[in-house]
Structure 1
Amino acid sequence: MKTVTVRNTVIGEGLPKICVPIVGKNKEELLSEVAVLKQVDVDVVEWRMDWFEDIMNFTKACEMLQILRDALGEMPILATFRTKQEGGEKAIAKADYVALYKAIVATQQADLIDVELFTGENEVKAILEDAHAHHVAVVMSNHDFAKTPSYDEILTRLKAMQSLGADIPKIAVMPQNKADVLTLLSATNTMYEEFADRPIITMSMAGTGAISRVCGEVFGSALTFGAAKKASAPGQVAVADLKTMLELLHKSL
């Protein structure tokens, strides 16, 4: 199993790494969130670019990324534009999506980027090729805020991401009941044990799925998302609580 190293953080070994999103609309809000992050124990910071009010001005977007890099020092940054159709704040044309990521990647100030699987095969391949040329790792993702796909479909999507060359395949789904959480965990375990040759990230959202954010080390998910100031998705657990639970579980394994 390959690992993914970003700065001093190794994703895919030991405890699942904790990623905390920052969702400020402007520089002041983002730096306020960074100040909070410096008081908690996190491994990766996700800049949710779709919340940033000037994101379609790529020059300002890149300037903001540089400000975040300066403020965060050696903390790994995952740059993410979550599209409207996958639960994000803004809709974006495919051409703009590609252009934004190419601009972000060119700065080499983000350590990882998040690219949605269903953006389109040509677009995904173009972004992925450009990211790897600039030594930026790619989290390829899919988010279903309406339901939990079948066990087979979850596996199909994760395997497709791996086949396309994603460094870290990721899927997040919404449970309608407890059985859906078991479906997600079972598919995660199968992917990890039988098909994955690199780290994967999976989660079941909302309160019902909160257990999936804690038990990644058991089933094979290498990174989990927590909240420091404002949650970016339903079911995110406060970072301090998440860290405690991850460590308690790790001691028993």
Structure 2
Amino acid sequence: MFDASETLRVTAPEPIVLKDVILGGEKPLICVPIVGDTVKQMIQNVKEAVGQEADILEIRIDCLDKRDKQTLDDLISKIRELSDIPIIFTNRPKEEGGFKPQKEEERIQTFIDAATIGGIDIMDIELSTQPKMRDLVVTLAKRRGVYVIISYHNFEFTPNKETLLDIVREEKKAGADIVKFMTKPKTHLDVITQLQALFEARTNVVRCPIISSAIGTLGSYSRIVSLFLGSDLTFASLPGRQSAPGQLTVQEVKAMLKIFNLR
């Protein structure tokens, strides 16, 4: 599908334009996860992330103590008063790295509420979500002009390459505009497996943008290396505010990308 033999960074054949940035273009994007128990805490982190020139924000709704529609409206409205930066709306279940437990029906309702409120650019829904609920979110998002990430997170181990490629195919079949897989390595060979799966997914399986890296301290270097092999975005934290193990800070990622003229 794509000849990557002489390209420093393997780009997406079908990139997505998000306002002033391109997901899947020549330069990989830096996404800052926004965490916090309250809207006030999240907004303070948004201000800092915008000040550090993040490309995208991921709003981690699973962090919030309250997730009702009024709270979501307040949060999104306040972010939009500060910046027009692209927003990924994420509400992780506990089993895929979510911060706080919640009932599945209530979790899905937050996606419905957010789509109704507007002001977001991407929704991230897990492949493991009950198919009828997942399809509801995907359909509603696309009706509202919101792109969809369908994601897979494995915090226990790294599946083999063929399994990961099958997951990517399932995500695309389920309606993903952007596919995502994150895996936990136990050895460096596991990191290589993740990278091989990423590269093959990029060059032979899907044309859309991909987000992928290894999770945890052992896989931290994958958050940079993956950007050369097909991942179009990396998550980078504000100091002391990681949303997942092994995340580098925004400034650390920027410094490394500058070496290769990718910032």
Shift of 1:205: 1.1
Question: Number of matched residues?
Answer: 249
Q: Is the 8 Å Cα contact of residues 94 and 123 (structure 1) preserved in structure 2? A: no
Q: Secondary structure at the match of 2:32?
A: strand
The residue number in structure 2 matching 1:119 is 129
Counterpart in 1 of 2:253?
242
Counterpart pick for 2:174 among 164, 172, 175? 164
- The aligned runs of 1:130-141 (5 Å cut-off) are 130-141=140-151
Q: Cα RMSD between the aligned structures?
A: 1.3
| Equivalent in the alignment of 2:32 | 20
Output the CA distance in 1 between the equivalents of 2:195 and 2:170: 18
- Unpaired runs of at least 5, structure 1: none
Equivalent position SS for 1:118: coil
Cα distance in 2, alignment partners of residues 174 and 247 from structure 1? 27
Q: Does 1:94 align with 2:104?
A: yes
Q: Secondary structure at the match of 2:207?
A: coil
* Partner of residue 193, structure 1: 203
Q: Which residue of 1 aligns with 2:19?
A: 7
Which whole-Å deviations, capped at 9, do the CAs of 1:78-134 have from their partners, x for residues lacking one? 110011010111233332222210110112211111101101111111100100000
Cα shift at 1:41: 2.5
- Structure ranking higher in helix proportion: 1
Quote the Cα distance in structure 2 between the aligned partners of 1:111 and 1:105: 10
1:144 equivalenced with 2:154 (yes/no): yes
| Greater CA drift, 215-224 or 179-188 | 215-224
2:49 corresponds in structure 1 to 37
Q: What CA distance in whole angstroms lies between the structure 2 residues aligned with 1:36 and 1:100?
A: 25
CA displacement, residues 215-253 of structure 1 (integer Å, 9 cap, x when unaligned) = 2332100100001131100110111110121232356xx
Question: TM-score normalised to the size of structure 2?
Answer: 0.91
- Is the 8 Å Cα contact of residues 215 and 249 (structure 1) preserved in structure 2? no
The amino acid across from 2:135 in the alignment is: K
Post-superposition Cα deviations, 1:53-99, rounded to whole Å, max 9, x if no partner, equal: 111x222222222112222x111111100110101112333322222
CA distance in 1, matches of 2:211, 2:43: 27
Aligned mates of 1:182, 1:218 — CA distance in 2: 14
Listed as ranges, the gaps of 5+ residues in structure 2 are 1-12
Q: Is the 8 A contact 1:215 1:246 kept in 2?
A: no
Alpha-carbon distance between aligned partners in 2 of 1:3 and 1:216, rounded to the nearest angstrom = 17
1:66 is aligned to 2:87: no
Determine whether 1:80 maps to 2:77: no
